[in-house]
Amino acid sequence: MEAPAGGVDDMTKLSYLHEPGVLENLKSRYELNEIYTYTGNILIAINPFQRLPHIYDGHMMQQYKGAPFGELSPHVFAVADVAYRAMVNEGKSNSILVSGESGAGKTETTKMLMRYLAYLGGRAATEGRTVEQQVLESNPVLEAFGNAKTVRNNNSSRFGKFVEIQFDKHGRISGAAIRTYLLERSRVCQVNDPERNYHCFYLLCAAPQEEIEKYKLDHPKTFHYLNQSKCFELVGVSDAHDYLATRRAMDIVGISAKEQEAIFRVVAAILHLGNIVFTKGKEVDSSVPKDEKAKFHLKTTAELLMCDAVALEDALCKRVMITPEEVIKRSLDPQSAAISRDGLAKTIYSRLFDWLVDKINNSIGQDPTSKCLIGVLDIYGFESFKTNSFEQFCINFTNEKLQQHFNQHVFKMEQEEYTKEQINWSYIEFVDNQDVLDLIEKKPGGIIALLDEACMFPKSTHETFSNKLYQTFKSHKRFIKPKLSRTDFTISHYAGEVQYQSDQFLDKNKDYVVAEHQELLGASKCQFVAGLFPPPPEETSKSSKFSSIGSRFKLQLQSLMETLNSTEPHYIRCVKPNNLLKPAIFENVNIMQQLRCGGVLEAIRISCAGYPTRRAFFEFINRFGLLAPEALEGNYDEKVACQRIMEKKGLKGFQIGKTKVFLRAGQMAELDARRAEVLNNAAKIIQRRVLTHVTRKRFIALRKAVISIQALCRGRLASKIFHEMKREAAAVNIQKNARRYEARKSYKRLHSSALVVQTGLRTMAACKQFRFRRQTKAVIFMQARWRCHRAASYYKRLKRGAIVSQTRWRGRVARKELRKLKMEARETGALKEAKNKLEKQVEELTWRLQLEKRMRTDLEEAKVQETAKFQSSLEELQKKLEEANAAIAKEKEVAKQAIEEAPPVVQETQVIVQDTEKIDSLNAEVDNLKEASEERRKKLEETQKKVQQLQDSMKSYGFTFLPSSYIVLNKL
């Protein structure tokens, strides 16, 4: 089969299984950012050196949850899922072993595993912190105190870690425990350029100002333990931010504020401790703090550790030697004092780290009832440098142990199984490393045992120790004595030869606290510091008195191996693609070496050549019996039934053992696929029936609901239409009223305009009429005047004529009368009476004339003259009357005389009566004219009043008219 361009996701599928093929496959996948590849059950993870958040997000977790192994592309979640499912289904503990060299991505992979397991087995946070939250948050705390920048990794874990996640019977996380291995103690006092010390020191130096002041800290370059390297900062990392993040994580894992304060106080004390420089004292081979600065740091260290400064100085510069005879206090030279100081710093730091791990474990809590666990091992990979010390020895010892576990699982157990089951099998050669392990750990006689022995003898040196090694293992095929060195030794590990320098082995292996240090800090006033140095248990035997790092580590590894052996292992091999720590660089040689060290190539070979899948007969029949029901019905024995099932499915190359069926790679998957097909068909039938039933029920309910909804909708629609209609009617009404209002308004405007026009016209007509009447009046007046004048002229002429004729007549009549009077003179009384009557008449006429005169003066000036004329005529008449009266009086006198002489004769004068009547008629005419003019005047006044009123009202309406209009309006 040709490999696809993007590579295959399982290398057992490769057609040409050789090193270049494997490398090419990994390379082509890495170029596509496919960092994970399977090799059978082993997952190879190549460090991308760049964030790929999309492959670790929640969606991805959901995808991998419960997905069959191999169905989705290779992923760390798939391995965790398999481990979890196996634990839940089979009730067996599982472990995931993550290995690889420094910087290969073990810690990141472990974090992903833990996140995914927390996702699978997590529960909703009910009361504050959950176990999984605490497990996850323990990472930043441990990283702050156990990680440092090295040349190979900016965040290198300087300890091994095995996290046991305990689950309850429902598969929920119920507890957890963290075991740590072999913290690199030497880093506390010794840092190579360009590496860094543990992160916590730098974090504390970047803490908020008040803490810096409290702990009397300064820039990292001022501290001896930090300034041995010129690297103080990490690119893209903020120590100040990480300090706060660490404090938050400490809160979550249950470290109280008081404890946190004590922890950082101790960290600060270690920094100050490192700055205590010694110089020669007055006595021989004695030492004292070098200067004031050293004294200041001594004092500060004592303050921070809450112990006596003098006692601290003594503990650093002196040693107490107990001999059977006496107790001797021996001074240390400056060099030894510095070693003592560094020893104290290392002890304090390692105890602090152990305290943190214990605290986290206690705070998370263990579940004693838990039966299953998933262990995740993140441990340093194989190391081979130019100079390899005790740490590399222990690390490589660990890797040998793990390799053996891997061998046992993948190769040895495979082959043993084949032999046990008596199947045809041509054995594959594999490198068994038991001899290396024997070389290192065998008791007695192993390197660790010899090292312990050397440490117990005070006079031993690394030379004596090396010689001992050379003598003991001179014929061991895994032990080589280098030709050019007298103290180095080489071990031929499974991954290659490593040459160790033994000069520090003894010191680094010693695991005892100097009694003076123990005493000093055990008596600290700070409970936390005193707690780090509990009183040592009473020694029972001499052998138990001595404890070495090497043997303690060996015991820890033994216990770890026991745990791992009781679990079903899963392997993740992390690979570092380049030493530049940069993405997209694939260094072939480097990677090939790592694959070889991780046993990946061997695993590929055996997976393909052997029978990676096996099942007990009953398990196989249980699982795949449904593929050939006739094989079960025939009452065959299990072995035959298994054979029939496989033959029916056309499988070839499988083997039937004594109790198990052995399948070639991929055959199990094929059978599973067939089984899934059959199950799917059956499930489909059941689903069909159930679905029909459910769908019918749902349909009926739906129909009912639809009818209700329709009724409701129709109701709504009708009400909507009704509402619309109502609105329309209202709109029409409003329109109607609006139109009416508009029409009325325009009508009113028209009406008032017509009125104005009419008023104008009427005014014009009235003006015309008024002018006509005025003219008529003037004419009448002129006519009246003319007639008056004519009548007056006629009257004057008539009166004159009348008076003349009257005078003549009266003269004649008077003479006649006189004669009569004379005749009637005798009747005096009658004459007297006539005389009185006449007098009265005269008086009356006089009164009337005066009245007329006054009236005429008031009325018209024109008549004044006439009246004057009348008056003058009246005066004339009066004169005449007087004359007449005088004549009458004369006549009376005459008559009196005549009467006296003769009887009087009385005759009435007709002329006076006629004049009076004429005057009366004229007066009546004048009165009539006056009345007529008075009436007109009154009418005119009234008209003017009306005009004035109309004018006022029109003004209030805002109209302005011509004066002629007012007149017309006045008339209206």
Ligand X SMILES: Nc1ncnc2c1ncn2[C@@H]1O[C@H](COP(=O)(O)OP(=O)(O)OP(=O)(O)O)[C@@H](O)[C@H]1O
Residue ranges binding ligand X (CB under 6 A): 47-49, 51-52, 100, 102-108, 153-157, 380, 574
Q: Residues 36, 72: contact at Cβ < 8 Å?
A: no
Q: What is the CA radius of gyration of the chain?
A: 72
Residue 100 annotated as binding site: yes
Structure-block tokens of residue 14: 């490769």
Query: What stretches of 655-803 adopt beta strand conformation (E)?
Result: 655-656, 660-663
Measured distance CA(778)–CA(783) in Å, rounded: 8
Q: How far is the CB of 52 from ligand X (least distance, A)?
A: 6
Count CB atoms within 10 A of the CB of residue 498. Answer: 19
Q: Which residues contact 141 (CB under 8 A, 6 or more apart)?
A: 246, 249, 250, 253, 255, 356, 360
157 given a catalytic annotation: yes
Burial track 310-321 (b if 16+ CB lie within 10 A, e otherwise): eebbbbbbbbee
Pairing of strands 94-99, 568-575: parallel
Could you give the C-alpha distances from 815 to 808, 888, 889, 895, in angstroms and in order?
10, 12, 14, 11
| DSSP labels, 255-310 | --HHHHHHHHHHHHHHHHHHT--EEE-SSTT-EEE-SHHHHHHHHHHHHHHTS-HH
Which residue number, 56 or 223, has a Cβ lying nearer to ligand X? 56
Residue 102 annotated as binding site: yes
153 given a catalytic annotation: yes
Q: Please, how many CA atoms are within 13 Å of residue 357, restricted to the half-sphere of its CB?
A: 21
Structure-block tokens of residue 402: 């793990």
568 by Cβ neighbours in 10 Å (0-12 / 13-18 / 19+) ranks as: middle
- The residue annotated as part of the active site, out of 93, 138, 147, 157, is 157
Q: How far is the CB of 99 from ligand X (least distance, A)?
A: 9
Which residue number, 178 or 947, has a Cβ lying nearer to ligand X? 178
- The residue annotated as part of the active site, out of 164, 383, 414, 441, is 383
Measured distance CA(798)–CA(204) in Å, rounded: 158
Measured distance CA(960)–CA(639) in Å, rounded: 130
Tally of residues, the chain: 972
Q: Which of 73, 61, 83, 63 has the alpha carbon at shortest distance from 36?
A: 73
Which residue number, 154 or 370, has a Cβ lying nearer to ligand X? 154
Q: How far is the CB of 47 from ligand X (least distance, A)?
A: 4
103 given a catalytic annotation: yes
Q: How far is the CB of 237 from ligand X (least distance, A)?
A: 10
Q: How far is the CB of 79 from ligand X (least distance, A)?
A: 13
Backbone dihedral angles phi then psi of residue 159, each to the nearest 5 degrees? -155, 160
| DSSP labels, 514-576 | -HHHHHHHHT-SSHHHHHHSPPPPPP-SHHHH--BHHHHHHHHHHHHHHHHHTSEEEEEEEE-
598 given a catalytic annotation: no
Residue 104 annotated as binding site: yes
Structure-block tokens of residue 439: 């070389």
374 forms beta bridges with 94, 165
- The residue annotated as part of the active site, out of 110, 130, 153, 361, is 153
107 given a catalytic annotation: yes
45 forms beta bridges with 36, 574
Measured distance CA(584)–CA(327) in Å, rounded: 66
Q: How far is the CB of 221 from ligand X (least distance, A)?
A: 25
Which residue number, 146 or 904, has a Cβ lying nearer to ligand X? 146
Which residue number, 579 or 775, has a Cβ lying nearer to ligand X? 579
Structure-block tokens of residue 781: 């007046």
Query: What stretches of 424-506 adopt beta strand conformation (E)?
Result: 479-480, 489-493, 496-500
- The residue annotated as part of the active site, out of 93, 110, 147, 156, is 156
- The residue annotated as part of the active site, out of 37, 107, 350, 923, is 107
759 given a catalytic annotation: no
Q: Please report where in the chains the tokens 């943190």 appear, as a residue.
A: 356
Q: How far is the CB of 106 from ligand X (least distance, A)?
A: 3
Which residue number, 156 or 873, has a Cβ lying nearer to ligand X? 156
Which residue number, 47 or 909, has a Cβ lying nearer to ligand X? 47
Residue 545's Cα: distance from chain center in Å? Answer: 62
What is the DSSP secondary structure assignment for residue 48, as one 8-state letter?
-
Which residue number, 111 or 896, has a Cβ lying nearer to ligand X? 111
* Amino acid, res. 238: S
Measured distance CA(424)–CA(849) in Å, rounded: 186
Which residue number, 14 or 35, has a Cβ lying nearer to ligand X? 35
Which residue number, 249 or 821, has a Cβ lying nearer to ligand X? 249
Q: Residues 273, 345: contact at Cβ < 8 Å?
A: yes
383 given a catalytic annotation: yes
Helix (H, G, I), strand (E, B) or coil at 712: helix
Which residue number, 111 or 820, has a Cβ lying nearer to ligand X? 111
Q: How far is the CB of 35 from ligand X (least distance, A)?
A: 6
Pick out the residues of the known binding site.
Answer: 100-107
Which residues are the active-site residues? Answer: 102-103, 107, 153, 156-157, 381, 383
Q: Detail the residues annotated as belonging to a binding site for ATP.
A: 100-107
